Structure 1
């Protein structure tokens, strides 16, 4: 079975999507539509901006969404997913790809999500850190024992977990994790504590927008970050999407479930190849590739 996977924040690069824009009429029309919906020229930033311009949250999230979704549409009849999943932000791309959301509604939600997350980051100083070389259970225990807010945020693959929370708590946890034998416990250059309780203001803001948006019956199951199992009902998808902002991204568990349910070929749709690398570390027996036109 073909599993299509969609990347999240961090996969962006200057020039992303330009080849699609220049070579496919459908892509050009969708990019121009996006400029109108967002009320600024995101294509200028994507195609010709600086890395710093592209790092702005209001740009990064819509840019990755657009690259992924437009690529999936340009693939046409070659795009035949049996199952889909997205890493954090990528879940919105996956939901357009499997017909749950239309292009316009998906982009509007991603834009609102980006702005709400940015606002939440500005309300309290916070951060994230990558932890390498420890079992998940050890990281979970140390987070639970550390004073303040620090939680597991991204279960990326075995031996790679990202933690998230208040700056002091994350720093304290990193020291404890190194003492416990972590190969690395490294602060990440992010704007705030994504997928932690500190995103509650953003979750509340996004919840009303999601509830007001029409979700269709998907053409294939989505394996969402929160339950990690196949979901096909619109109400369940909405609830999981809202929970995602303050809950951890359980990527390892989602991929294992997709493999168990018959996924054999994992195709990454969007910028970069990060997800393929993670999938191979989760299960070295499956095929991985990048979607290409």
Structure 2
């Protein structure tokens, strides 16, 4: 299988030679599961009809495994939870949408100085940074995304730990920590922090643990705590077996030194010159699977270390826009100290661009 995925790093070098004015520095953020919903149906067809060879390469890989092609899933007449949300379909579909968006970033206007992502978005970030080539990326993403095809292991729920102005509320965070500790002391209950997601905490656990969390966490807006449909207990010890299967299935040769710096879910920077590929594999298939993923820290390290002019959040969808902004507000980055300031600044001169937002998308691409 051959995939003609553009190399953003090479494009950066080429653009330096043809553009005289300084390009804006951008950190790119890749989304994870849950970002392809009803409104995103047809995303590939709508925005990426010019990338048929890349999409066909993914579908050939999936056809060999007797899996439905992503072009067919994306082109379905209607959105279906049964078809669009299982990991074996959602992972490859979201990967394709995000990487195609990455290919569309205008490299004459922007220099990508670092890449990060949320949860499954870490695999996408590896692909964008060329730490996984096209063949390796779909192998890793499809393999890890299909691990629970025979049945989910545990589940996840999400709960806010911010106030109405998107400022971190330490009292709520402490309450969540106490509830986790209390539940884990109960027989048959398992509950863990899964993701630090901007202004939200994602919890992973077994059914007993999640039910107790739903009982103990105060109801907010008649919405939270919210179960995440078709999500397993990602980034928790419950996925030890998934990690072991990943190591058994995915060899070290799949991983390369990134051509663009990467920031992982522990805030670690993987550089083009200093990366040990064996350690990159160990993190990706080990701690990244079984320990909490700190998306907030990843975003904060990225902006502090690489000082971007803007942050670009890849599609599909824009569910990661809020958590990314909340992680930046926590630092008072771009002068944002609350939701009102963020919204006003975005209206005047947006510094965070979501490619899943039609208006902001046009500011990212040369199309």
TM-score, normalisation: structure 1: 0.88
Q: 1:18 aligns with which of 21, 29, 45?
A: 45
1:43 and 2:88 matched? no
The whole-number CA distance in structure 2 between the counterparts of 1:46 and 1:87 is 22
The aligned residue for residue 228 of structure 2 is 188
Which runs of no fewer than 5 residues in structure 1 stay unpaired?
none
Label 1:143 to 1:118 Cα distance change in 2 as closer, same or farther (>3 A).
Answer: farther
The aligned residue for residue 262 of structure 1 is 306
Query: How far off is 1:283 after superposition?
Result: 1.6
The whole-number CA distance in structure 2 between the counterparts of 1:193 and 1:208 is 20
Label 1:190 to 1:263 Cα distance change in 2 as closer, same or farther (>3 A).
Answer: farther
1:120·1:201 contact (CA, 8 Å) conserved in 2? no
Q: 2:270 aligns with which of 209, 212, 231?
A: 231
Q: 1:251 aligns with which of 270, 291, 295?
A: 295
The aligned residue for residue 288 of structure 1 is 352
The whole-number CA distance in structure 2 between the counterparts of 1:20 and 1:104 is 22
1:132 and 2:160 matched? yes
Tell me how many residue pairs correspond in the alignment.
Answer: 284
The aligned residue for residue 272 of structure 1 is 317
| Alignment root-mean-square deviation, CA | 2.3
The aligned residue for residue 216 of structure 1 is 256
Larger Rg: 2
CA displacement 1:67-106 (0-9 Å, x = unmatched): 1112222446356321110111111111111111101110
**Larger fraction in helix:** 1
The aligned residue for residue 106 of structure 1 is 137
1:5·1:267 contact (CA, 8 Å) conserved in 2? yes
Secondary structure of the residue aligned to 1:267 is strand
Which runs of no fewer than 5 residues in structure 2 stay unpaired?
1-24, 162-170, 335-350, 356-360
Query: How far off is 1:200 after superposition?
Result: 1.6
Q: 2:124 aligns with which of 85, 93, 114?
A: 93
